[in-house]
Amino acid sequence: MHDQSRRLYDAARELRNAETPSAVARLLGVSPQTVKNWESRGVSLEGMMAAEEAIGCRSAWLRTGEGDMLTSKERRNQGRPPIKLVTPDSPKIVHVRSVVLTLRAGFTGVSSDAFEEDGDPFPVSQSWLQSNGFHLQDLVAARIRGQSMAPNLNEDDIAVIHLKSKRPIDGKVFAVNFDGEGVIKRLVYDYKRWFLYSDNPDQNRYRPQEASMAPNFIIGQVVAAQKFNL
């Protein structure tokens, strides 16, 4: 059985007491055969979005198994605390350049100098850099704008981006050059295509967008975050 179907069944059983594939199909408004097909092919994007609404499990979790299973709405209903992502503490602190993800003409994505400064630099631990094999000059910190990646990354949270990590990875969060604008989205590979996916459960407002994967499309991978306004 596909891992995505296994997670779907587990969530439906835990959150909605749905014990059979037919019960899951009724929850999602699809045919039992569709649910059965997912067992070998994986759950479709439409199925994941339907599961967010009907079951309360995050579509990103269904896709990759990473992060919290529950949507922010379901978590509030159950009284669970939000996820808090922080950079590790260390006696020795270094500072990552804070930037605005506004892309200049001729952007090549080769260094942090391609971006404009945005206030004070962001502190991270030297031990964190060393344990991950990062170099300070290959990192930038950017403030999250908007709520498309909530609840994992809310507005005014800080994302640390590794500019050398440009290979797309299914289910991971990246900063990308979308029509000349730097945005932070989750990359999802489905039906032999790449999509930009928002973590916000309101998928009517934050719909997936197909990713072009043109040269310099990927700015870098989000490798750490600091949450504020919890």
Domain harbouring 66, CATH code: 1.10.260.40
3 state SS of 11: helix
Per-residue pLDDT at 88: 47
Residue 88 lies in a domain: no
Residue 57 lies in a domain: yes
Q: Are residues 68 and 99 located together in one domain of the fold?
A: no
Per-residue pLDDT at 107: 44
Q: In which residue are the tokens 């949450």 written?
A: 227
List the chain pLDDT tens, one digit each, 230 residues: 899 999 999 999 888 888 888 888 888 888 989 999 999 999 998 899 888 888 889 888 999 988 888 886 776 666 544 443 444 454 588 889 888 876 544 444 545 555 677 777 888 888 888 888 899 999 999 988 888 988 888 888 889 999 999 999 988 899 998 877 888 999 988 878 899 988 888 878 888 888 878 777 899 999 988 875 44
Per-residue pLDDT at 228: 59
Q: CB neighbours of 142 closer than 8 A, spacing ≥ 6?
A: 98, 99, 100, 101, 118, 158, 159, 161, 175, 182, 184
Per-residue pLDDT at 74: 74
What is the CB neighbour count within 10 angstroms for residue 226? Answer: 17
Q: Residue 11: which region, alpha, beta or left (left: phi > 0; alpha: psi -120 to 50)? A: alpha
- Taken in order 207, 208, 210, 216, the sign of the CA dihedral is positive
CA dihedral 36, 37, 40, 42 (to 10 degrees): -100
Per-residue pLDDT at 76: 64
Q: Are residues 48 and 98 located together in one domain of the fold?
A: no
Strand partners, 122: 96
Report pTM. 0.59
- 108: exposed, middle or buried (C-beta count within 10 Å: 0-12, 13-18, 19+)? exposed
CB 70 within 8 A of CB 80: yes
Number of domains forming the structure of the chain: 2
Per-residue pLDDT at 114: 59
Residue 72 sits in which domain range? 3-78
Per-residue pLDDT at 7: 94
Q: Are residues 44 and 117 located together in one domain of the fold?
A: no
Residue 33 lies in a domain: yes
Domain finish residue from 45, 78, 111 = 78
Per-residue pLDDT at 222: 92
Per-residue pLDDT at 230: 41
Residue 83 lies in a domain: no
In angstroms, the CA 162 to CA 159 distance is 10
